[in-house]
Amino acid sequence: MTRKTINKKKLQKKLLHKYRLVVLNEDTFEERLAFKLTRLNVFVLGSLTTILLVAVTTVLIAFTPIREYIPGYSSTALQRQALELDFKTDSLLDIVYMNDAYISSVKKVLRGEVSAVVINKDSIFKAAQADADVLDLNPSKADSILRAKVSNEDKYNLFQTATTVADFVFFPPVNGSISSDFDINEKHFAVDIVIPKNTPIKATADGRVLFASWTSDASYVIIIDHGDELISVYKHNSSLTKSQGEFVKAREVIAISGSSGELSTGPHLHFELWNNGIPLNPSTFIDF
């Protein structure tokens, strides 16, 4: 018999050798429980218990809220809040970029840095004609019914809004002689009206104050948004009677004239009209 065989039999004997586990009453030494065990049984039982504990712990951590109390695992509520904050941050950045672009456009209007746009009318008419040739302009039955309904509702509506510059009724902000006309070549996108100092400046049409503040080159400036991409600009005022965001009516006093600002040459009103970012000659629409 080889040494290897002898060692194997000894190991087998140790593993299968039976032991008796007894539970006794300490006072009476009465036998309460007794178990027959082997080393192999104890090893198998311990291994199964360990595996069961590991499996139960894994299930509890993976599929129950208990995992939130373990360091390194983030809370579901915190993850949801983080996603909501990320979306809000992205939306706020978009708003900031839009505000920056809007403020930049207003600054260009104030500084007169907007160049004149030359429009080729023939190309516009050709493009419009080409689009009209492709589209089917015959109204459907539902469209005809809707048009008739809207026409009947608006027949006596006295508050229809203007849709073009020609539909607006402009009132002169002040009356006086023009010292400097509208000149695109000189980048003077306004008319300068000579008036006495402390003359009330009035709104040329209904609208909302878009900008009202002091600037170094034009002193107190107020800009009014009249809707439909139309705004009016009033510069070189000594004071303002309206603030940003307020609504004004036509002929309502919005400022007091003066002779201040680096570009001022005397008491006058620098008045501009803009439509969709394009400067308009105020003398075309207003009799000063």
For 240-267, what is the mean pLDDT? 86
pLDDT at 147: 72
pLDDT digits (tens, 9 = 90+) for 12-34: 777 788 888 888 888 887 888 88
Q: Are 85 and 190 in contact (CB under 8 A)?
A: no
The C-alpha atoms of residue 285 and residue 169 are separated, in whole angstroms, by: 8
pLDDT digits (tens, 9 = 90+) for 43-102: 888 899 999 999 988 887 777 777 666 666 666 677 778 888 888 888 888 888 888 888
pTM for this model (two decimals): 0.45
pLDDT at 116: 53
Distances (CA, A) of 52 to 15, 57, 273: 23, 9, 82
pLDDT at 160: 43
**Residue 30 or 128, more confident:** 30
Q: Where are the domains of the chain?
A: 3-63, 169-285
Distances (CA, A) of 156 to 151, 153, 202, 206: 9, 7, 30, 21
Please count the other Cβ atoms lying within 10 Å of the Cβ belonging to residue 233.
24
pLDDT at 156: 44
pLDDT tier, 38 (very low <50, low <70, confident <90, very high otherwise): confident
Q: Are 247 and 208 in contact (CB under 8 A)?
A: yes
pLDDT tier, 223 (very low <50, low <70, confident <90, very high otherwise): very high
Go through the chain and tell me how many residues it has.
288
Residues paired with residue 240 on neighbouring β-strands, in sequence order? 255
pLDDT tier, 158 (very low <50, low <70, confident <90, very high otherwise): very low
Specify whether domain 169-285 bears CATH 2.70.70.10. Answer: yes
For 229-249, what is the mean pLDDT? 92
- The percent of residues in the chain predicted with pLDDT above 70, rounded, is 77
